[in-house]
Amino acid sequence: MIQTRIPSPLADGYAELRQEPDMQSFRKEEFSYMYHCYECEVTKERFTTPELDNLNTSQIYNQYREKHQFMFPQQITAMRERYGLTAARMALVLDFGPNQYTNYENGEMPSASNAKILRLASDPVTFLSIVRDKKDELRVNEYEKLRRHLDTLIDEAQTPQRIGGLVVRSAAQVAPDPDEYTGYVLPDSDKFAELVLFFFSHLDNLFKVKLLKLLFYCDFQHYRLTAHAITGQRYRAIQHGPVPQEYGQRLQEMVQEGLLTASFHESMVHSADNSPVLVYKATRKANLEVFTDSERQVIEQVYQKLGKKSRAELESLSHTEQAWKDNNAQNGRISYQEYAYDLRSLPLA
């Protein structure tokens, strides 16, 4: 995790974290981002660490990928896993170098031509044609197994499904690419569910308004430290503070899956219409194994710093955030890149 103060390698003493808006040129284009570095208290010289370099670079890469519709590393990995291939076999099929495909999964920016190949390969129909061209370079059993698997994926994509009252060809076709409003990750329903379960199982008398603020701070704090959200939820600013855009649907799905119970608390009513308050309870403890080390650290930080505050206190804190102030009047969406680095209710470390 990023530290606000570290021993300085330039002199006896410490170096303080500095962050300031800046512009960076990448592939002959300019991008605005929040530059992070350390400043030596003695020499006043500035320097970065590998962790800060990654944070700075990730902000630029995120925006470049979004602008040019390059697939994100998470999408590239998910595509390969969907096809049931190892990175080495995927590289063979796509005519990439032995380590090239793995590097793309690990965050390296592909060339425009290779990015186009990756995007085309994400369509099972197109990928099947690529596989057929590589038939002679694949083992017979390997080729037949892959061909059958792709035929199944294509059939599933062409089968109409009902989503949100609409009939669509494939759920994958309506999934948006990561962008500044998802924290540049794919929305992850498993992480959302486990994060909700964590707070319900750790906090007594937790109600929806407070829960949604805790989710906001987890996602935006992690983006602040890594340039990637945890759950990929899109947030809006409403009267009571920032909330995940589809929180009602997500919580209802958890009830249907048996992860939460929901009942009305007759002794508590909403101030607006005197209707009883809906109370959720977790049916099991959260599985924290779905989270990365940095995600678990942020979740613990939010729990320790904000979890014991009352609903009213947490709502008031969320109203001090620029993310809420700028977007509340229009119930507007909140950009991670624009607002995560301005969080006021949480320290960096």
Q: Looking at residue 278, what is its pLDDT?
A: 86
Domain ranges of the chain: 5-68, 73-173, 189-342
In total, the chain counts a number of residues equal to 349
Enclosing H/E stretch for 24: strand 14-26
To the question of domain 5-68 being in CATH 3.10.20, the answer is yes
First to last CA, the chain: 7
pLDDT tens digit string along 227-268?
999 999 999 999 999 999 999 999 999 999 999 999 887 565
- Measured between alpha carbons, how far is 9 from 6 in angstroms, rounded to an integer? 9
Helix (H, G, I), strand (E, B) or coil at 201: helix
What is the distance of C-alpha 269 from the center of its chain?
34
Cβ(230)–Cβ(295) below 8 Å: yes
Cβ(291)–Cβ(188) below 8 Å: no
pTM: 0.90
pLDDT, tens digit only, all 349 positions of the chain: 789 999 999 999 999 999 999 999 999 999 999 999 999 999 999 999 999 999 999 999 999 999 999 999 999 999 999 999 999 999 999 999 879 999 999 999 999 999 999 999 999 999 999 999 999 999 999 999 999 999 999 998 887 665 555 545 544 445 679 999 999 999 999 999 999 999 999 998 899 999 999 999 999 999 999 999 999 999 999 999 999 999 999 999 999 999 999 988 756 555 555 667 788 999 999 999 999 999 999 999 999 999 999 999 999 999 999 999 999 999 999 999 999 999 999 988 7
